[in-house]
């Protein structure tokens, strides 16, 4: 038996060493001197080992090697159901934004949950169709793609979302009213956790300005275009629910000009916790407020429309873990670096978005903590986290990155000629290899030596 001091909650609790600590029990057990518990928030700890669905995380590394991405489908389904539940009483369609994590087994899991798919390239459309999504469950929201690509998507029968006037005009000329279309509106709202992921503001390349509505109307009228949907997406990592509610009002206002709508797509951008003390978008409150307002809007509009959302992060961020091995511990005059057998080629978010990923030692769940700057092996500044308090690391230990489900593997590259990691999906308590570790042969497959 040992004791956990929950300093933040001002309570003490004694637990058995082999007690199973679930998310729920854990959430009341934040502890400063047992911060490893804190960091393992979504994992269970069984017999002093970090586990996902009862599978010890270190055993996955023994079986499949490192570095490796691991996805917990229980968490995905929990988030999916939570979102649906928040908007109960509404005809809601959730289209998973597959750019966040595009392994076909993950897409197949979403198919089984009866999710739709949000796609931004013809390749994502094709992946979705290959997995078995019906075309009407796929929305294609491209930006600056060729007209030929748009035509391909039209042929494949998916929902088309257009986000610029020139394309809308050409589309109208070629298709008239024969193909229904959704229009992406730029609501001029500056929101999001980082300038690179704020996409609904005046200087953004996305969407057609709300102030260009008269121009949209002229084109629609001139070609008899059948506008069946309106869409917006203002950014990612948006905490304030008023941003979503304000954006919704802009779409409701826009909707008055389009009498043949079937759906309104409010995009996504829900914030999830990354840091230990982070807060997230209050989905339940948003659901309550927005459902009420949507019902009123439908009454005003005179038709029950479908409400759509297209989350990526909310559905998969916390379901993913990235496991990597410590290659070296390097003490310099000012810093102790923990150098890993991975780099920004596998997880670019810290370097690209300044994002924070909790990192902890899964090989040693307990012990003295030390301060490390965790870095990768790429030949340029490649830092995962500065000054992180982690249970003392040794060469060969396995560290785990939290929130590694969204925009991690899907943004991975072969930079420095490094190979892509393997991916494992845990479903119903069983681990499944869903992507083999890359080999040099597969990297060379399309290269031609002349």
Ligand X SMILES: Cc1ncc(COP(=O)(O)O)c(C=O)c1O
User: Among all residues, which ones are annotated catalytic?
Assistant: 379
**Range 363-422, binding ligand X (CB under 6 A):** 406
Q: Determine the 3-state secondary structure of 27 from DSSP.
A: helix
Least Cβ distance, residue 285 to ligand X (angstroms)? 18
Nearest to 263 by CA among 107, 80, 79, 118: 118
Q: Which is nearer to ligand X, 317 or 363 (CB)?
A: 317
* Residue 88 per-residue DSSP state: T
141, 164, 281, 342: which one contacts ligand X (CB under 6 A)?
A: 141
72, 118, 382, 397: which one contacts ligand X (CB under 6 A)?
A: 118
Backbone angles phi, psi at 358, to 5 degrees: -65, 135
Choose the stretch contacting ligand X; rule: CB under 6 A; options: 37-45, 262-270, 385-393, 415-423: 262-270
Contacts with ligand X, 159-198, as mask; x by CB under 6 A: ----------------------------------------
Nearest to 225 by CA among 148, 166, 169, 271: 169
Tokens describing residue 85: 């539940």
Contacts with ligand X, 299-328, as mask; x by CB under 6 A: -----------xxxxx--------------
Q: Which is nearer to ligand X, 50 or 314 (CB)?
A: 314
Tokens describing residue 55: 């599978």
Least Cβ distance, residue 351 to ligand X (angstroms)? 18
Least Cβ distance, residue 389 to ligand X (angstroms)? 28
Contacts with ligand X, 71-100, as mask; x by CB under 6 A: --------------------------x--x
Are 118 and 96 contacting, i.e. CB atoms less than 8 angstroms apart?
yes
* Cis ω for the linkage preceding 67 (within 30 of 0): yes
Contacts with ligand X, 216-255, as mask; x by CB under 6 A: -----------------x--x-------------------
- The per-residue DSSP string of 275-306 comes to STT-----HHHHHHHHHHHHHHHHHHHTS-PE
Number of residues that bind ligand X (CB under 6 A): 16
d(CA 328, CA 396): 8
Alpha-helical segments (H) within 176-224? 213-223
Least Cβ distance, residue 157 to ligand X (angstroms)? 20
Tokens describing residue 250: 């802009």
**Range 2-41, binding ligand X (CB under 6 A):** none
Neighbour tally for 435: CB within 10 Å: 17
CA angle 186, 188, 191 (to 5 degrees): 105
Choose the stretch contacting ligand X; rule: CB under 6 A; options: 173-181, 266-274, 366-374, 390-398: 266-274
Residue ranges that bind ligand X, judged by CB under 6 A: 97, 100, 118, 141, 233, 236, 267-270, 310-314, 406
């Amino acid at each position: 038996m040992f004791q956990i001091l929950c300093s933040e909650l001002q309570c003490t609790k004694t637990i058995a060493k082999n007690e199973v600590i679930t998310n729920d029990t854990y959430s009341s057990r934040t502890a400063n001197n047992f911060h490893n518990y804190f960091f393992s928030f979504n994992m269970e700890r069984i017999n002093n080992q970090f586990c996902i669905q009862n599978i010890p995380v270190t055993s996955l590394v023994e079986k499949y090697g490192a570095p490796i991405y691991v996805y917990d489908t229980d968490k995905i389904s929990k988030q999916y159901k939570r979102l649906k539940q928040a908007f109960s009483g509404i005809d809601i369609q959730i289209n998973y934004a597959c750019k966040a994590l595009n392994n076909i087994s993950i897409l197949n899991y979403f198919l089984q949950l009866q999710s739709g798919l949000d796609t931004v390239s013809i390749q994502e459309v094709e992946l979705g169709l290959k997995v078995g999504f019906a075309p009407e469950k796929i929305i294609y929201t491209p930006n600056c793609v060729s007209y030929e690509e748009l035509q391909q998507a039209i042929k494949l029968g998916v929902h088309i979302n257009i986000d610029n006037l020139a394309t809308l005009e050409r589309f109208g000329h070629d298709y008239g009213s024969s193909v229904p279309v959704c229009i992406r509106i730029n609501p001029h709202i500056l929101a999001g956790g980082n300038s690179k992921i704020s996409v609904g503001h005046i200087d953004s390349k996305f969407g057609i300005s709300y102030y260009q509505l008269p121009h949209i109307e002229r084109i629609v009228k001139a070609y008899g275009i059948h506008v069946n949907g309106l869409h917006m997406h203002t950014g990612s990592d948006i905490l304030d629910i008023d941003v979503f509610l304000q954006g919704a009002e802009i779409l409701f206002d826009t909707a008055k000009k389009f009498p043949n709508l079937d759906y309104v797509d409010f995009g996504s951008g829900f914030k999830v916790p990354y840091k230990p003390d982070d807060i997230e978008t209050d989905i339940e409150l948003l659901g309550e407020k927005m459902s009420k307002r949507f019902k009123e809007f439908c009454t005003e509009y005179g038709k029950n429309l479908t409400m759509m959302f297209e989350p990526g992060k909310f559905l998969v961020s916390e379901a993913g873990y990235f496991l990597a091995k410590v290659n070296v511990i390097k003490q310099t005059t000012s810093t102790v670096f923990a150098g890993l057998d991975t780099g920004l080629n596998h997880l670019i978010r810290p370097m690209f978005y300044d994002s924070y990923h909790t990192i902890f030692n899964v090989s040693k769940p307990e012990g003295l903590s030390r301060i490390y700057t965790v870095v990768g092996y790429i030949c340029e500044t490649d830092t995962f986290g500065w000054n992180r308090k982690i249970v003392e690391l040794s060469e060969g230990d396995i560290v785990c990155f939290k929130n590694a489900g969204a925009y991690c593997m899907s943004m991975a590259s072969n930079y420095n000629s490094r190979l892509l990691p393997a991916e494992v999906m845990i479903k119903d308590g069983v681990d499944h290899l869903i992507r083999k570790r890359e080999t040099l042969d597969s990297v060379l497959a399309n290269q031609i030596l002349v």
